[in-house]
Structure 1
């Protein structure tokens, strides 16, 4: 039977049995009520209510409660200051976004056009044939072979179609366990309000990063050299920053200045590693005013021809990223979310790029860069997809009492070249998860950072030492501050733990001043102070 409760926030209905206690009915009611306090129940609208008592332990039949009976509630509504702050912060532009996002957000992004033969106005006039185009213009994108909209062009497109400010919403494929639909929380109950909608897989039309650029070719050469010497695979974390990409309207480019190699167990056909940055790596990146922009791994197999060629394993008829690598990319992106003021949560997707070094169809070593879609991030977050033994497909997990799996569909062309929709269970192609990213190397021969010091966590090759560090810094004659601009050197210096907190702060000030103006008096003064600090004195002793 159903009994009803009327309160200040509406009418509530609870489904119960005659044998249920009144207390169990109230417990079901509480799932529907908003956050409240001091709940009291009365039989009449203006009668004084009563709180929990011994009568509540009696069954409904014993109390004479019948189908359709109405009770009246009094309670206080609880408010949370934290919720107010969490809602207002993104809308008040309090989200600390990346510098490149602030830069692009301040630009109009319009694409200028020259006068054409169809223009019938003067030099200072403008018409539909020469007025600037919006950054998301579809014809311009197709004519210039731009595969995806840039992130900020996508935002402009959404804003042109909606009047709300927070136009970005990340999909959520989990069940809402705080549903107000009048039932027990899942898995005991579910309704259309709390269950996620069916997922229709689509190729993502935009990308968070449009291009990845290596500061110089030496960075990649030193990374691949490990495979050449050991014939085992290698994993790295890309350290750099984000800047504007001029080749795409309102585009973003990730510039890689160094590759951090965490501790790992290398094998001929795989890698075991911990993708998290340790304290020394974080300090080195922060000291250079850089952060994580991507991950990188090798998948190289020598062709056996003894000419330096490698096997081509990844192509259109096999896969570009395996299902295991797609899940790794999604988890990495979830670990480094992109902050934005156009989302209620203050974050949306990620700018992290996944790079794989493998053989191309010509037998050459080539780099390919990808991101995974926002849909894929949400499916991995909800734990509804998993890697499979077939690297070209992602497996859809089975539903359990702890995991709700919505229906997943995708469209493809069948053997008659007709577009059909299919259920993604038990698996679907990984191509629906991928967003390709272009890459390249800087034109300049010399990058912003040095890359001369021994690379960390390579026990089978040359390992860095305090003596090598002292020689690199030329401590016998003072200190060579130019050589401090080396991520691997800074990593080893921080990992030695010879610098105090005060010494580390002094080093960060020195690096900032050096990057602004090496020859300035401030830089020279800070260099003299750092050369005589206690931590450098300890390093001199260790080097002996």
Structure 2
């Protein structure tokens, strides 16, 4: 039979046999009250009065006490009191427990969240010449600043979603004196059955009640978005990513490495700035790709990227979905459009899985996390048949439905299927009622069941994207080979040393011991080193210690590196750099010997022609020669900057 119990700790339900001893009931009640004194429990059939100690009822059955199915009993007890000798011991655990229940107060938010929390985000307005009748320094309803969530402003500027912090401003209590003003306003969604049930019955699928089952779901467009804009710091970054598809026709996937910044185009907006694309091991195909998750290099890439001058992280991912047109091989097929789909159901479920695995820390959520800023970039074709980008996220409803194992992909890419309920013990799945609303042909709002399927658009959140008008990427080079492109690009230590030898890196010194004429060489070296893929590769060679690699990442990502080349000095002084230069010199010397031996095989008449041509080139160059704009003084051989007429060292004319 089922007994209902009401105690100072809440309401509970327990199943017992009618012949069960009252001590079994006491044991169940004690489990719900860990702070109670076990000797003080009393039982009564009414809220106050008629209490009987459990100790006086031991040995009697529940049936003998006159209890029947669904009866309500009232249990009372005293709390344990801590003695003076134990108070010093119990104080710390109690403090820890209290802190743990308010985890949102101790989380560290991202810098962009700290930035917006320190501002009110109000939208300024100038004085309206038509309606404002006050003085220049006055203010009225026509010119006072608007709230960041103002509906009229968003409609006027065609902003579909509120930014995350504008949404927080909208739902946060206006009063700071109410009891709820200090509580986090966001509540993470969950469509899973509560286990164990607060009412005490056996967990699903053995039983379910209104206390543990999720409520019915009505799908609707999410009013806010965690990221408002995606900015690609360099156009070359995307162009290099597309090289694999252009040369092989195989689709490609990459993780977006970047950081978050305020985005003033949207009130209290946030943008993800992409500085590099890391391509994990994968197998591309004409209509898809195979990818390993979780990716093995994630921790290394995250740790290395975080060492940049502006700490970087994984802000999203990008993949191609391009098919060449049979009619015109220079064009691609336009297949993502209003009459088809923008994001397939499989892609939406994949995005929800990754977003759930990459939550955003938040002081506005009781669990210290809410949503995700992981964005999805899709390289697809536009109406003109050219490759174009599209940026999306999926809603919190999508993430909750995937977490509850409620939905699956459909054969039709624009449709999401709702799974069937499963009561097996191995994979128990409870599916609540799911609805979505739409406007019919008469313009009326209609609610329809989402079972067995619904459009994928109900799970999507649009994000804008673009390139900066004045690019200023953290890294100055995108020339080095990209990882995991066997056959197309190869990352080898030999290629690194060859490039360093060509840059004369072994003979470049720090700023204190630099020789005349080294400035342009240091600049070329700094530019070549400022490549995210190069630093990521050197991290795998074990030539540099982890600290030295992080130092290199911080130096080569400095915004003013090319203006202050002395920043290279700490890198040039590391043991790893010294060893690399030694290997580079040895390799260059061996290559020189090999080339000399190869010259022995060239016929003498060819060598004579080469020597004659070099002599003619020297004669036509006059007294001063130039190489890449550098002018060499014929008197002291100093390499001068281009544009001057006299030597910067000896002062004599450069032309003899």
Same fold (TM over 0.5): yes
Deviations 1:280-333 (CA, angstroms, capped at 9, x unpaired) = 423431232211111110000000234511001111111100000001111111
Alignment of 1:287-298 (within 5 A): 287-288=307-308, 289-298=311-320
Runs (5+) with no aligned partner, structure 2:
44-50, 81-89, 509-521, 589-656
Alignment of 1:387-536 (within 5 A): 387-401=409-423, 402-444=428-470, 447-449=473-475, 450-473=477-500, 474=503, 475-478=505-508, 480-508=525-553, 510-511=555-556, 514-515=558-559, 523-530=567-574, 533=577, 536=580
User: Which position in structure 1 is the counterpart of 2:163?
Assistant: 150
Structure-1 separation of matches of 2:12 and 2:369: 35
User: Which position in structure 2 is the counterpart of 1:107?
Assistant: 119
Structure-1 separation of matches of 2:399 and 2:27: 36
3-state SS of paired residue (1:495): coil
Higher Rg = 2
Judging changes above 3 Å, is the alpha-carbon distance between structure 1 residues 71 and 329 closer, same or farther for their aligned structure 2 residues?
Answer: closer
Verify the 8 A CA contact 2:535 2:553 in the aligned structure 1: no
Higher relative contact order (CA 8 A, sep 6+): 1
Structure-1 separation of matches of 2:409 and 2:23: 46
Verify the 8 A CA contact 1:355 1:369 in the aligned structure 2: yes
Verify the 8 A CA contact 2:304 2:553 in the aligned structure 1: no
Confirm whether residue 216 of structure 1 aligns to residue 234 of structure 2. Answer: yes
TM-score under structure 2 length normalisation: 0.74
Structure-2 separation of matches of 1:259 and 1:370: 17
Judging changes above 3 Å, is the alpha-carbon distance between structure 1 residues 260 and 2 closer, same or farther for their aligned structure 2 residues?
Answer: closer
Q: CA deviation at 1:375?
A: 1.0
Judging changes above 3 Å, is the alpha-carbon distance between structure 1 residues 213 and 3 closer, same or farther for their aligned structure 2 residues?
Answer: closer
Deviations 1:166-206 (CA, angstroms, capped at 9, x unpaired) = 11111111111133324223322222122111111001111
3-state SS of paired residue (2:331): coil
3-state SS of paired residue (2:363): coil
Deviation larger for 358-367 or 468-477: 468-477
Deviation larger for 425-434 or 486-495: 486-495
Confirm whether residue 90 of structure 1 aligns to residue 90 of structure 2. Answer: no
Verify the 8 A CA contact 1:39 1:73 in the aligned structure 2: no
Verify the 8 A CA contact 2:416 2:456 in the aligned structure 1: yes
3-state SS of paired residue (1:96): coil
User: Which position in structure 2 is the counterpart of 1:16?
Assistant: 16
Judging changes above 3 Å, is the alpha-carbon distance between structure 1 residues 75 and 543 closer, same or farther for their aligned structure 2 residues?
Answer: farther
User: Which position in structure 2 is the counterpart of 1:246?
Assistant: 264
Judging changes above 3 Å, is the alpha-carbon distance between structure 1 residues 25 and 392 closer, same or farther for their aligned structure 2 residues?
Answer: farther
Deviation larger for 80-89 or 98-107: 80-89
Deviation larger for 77-86 or 180-189: 77-86
Verify the 8 A CA contact 2:229 2:465 in the aligned structure 1: yes
Verify the 8 A CA contact 2:173 2:181 in the aligned structure 1: no
Size of the aligned set, in residue pairs, is: 535
Structure-2 separation of matches of 1:43 and 1:105: 51
User: Which position in structure 2 is the counterpart of 1:164?
Assistant: 181
User: Which position in structure 2 is the counterpart of 1:140?
Assistant: 153
Judging changes above 3 Å, is the alpha-carbon distance between structure 1 residues 539 and 101 closer, same or farther for their aligned structure 2 residues?
Answer: farther
Q: What's the Cα RMSD here?
A: 3.2
Judging changes above 3 Å, is the alpha-carbon distance between structure 1 residues 96 and 19 closer, same or farther for their aligned structure 2 residues?
Answer: same
Deviation larger for 117-126 or 497-506: 497-506
Judging changes above 3 Å, is the alpha-carbon distance between structure 1 residues 140 and 236 closer, same or farther for their aligned structure 2 residues?
Answer: same
Verify the 8 A CA contact 1:43 1:70 in the aligned structure 2: no
TM-score under structure 1 length normalisation: 0.88
User: Which position in structure 2 is the counterpart of 1:308?
Assistant: 330
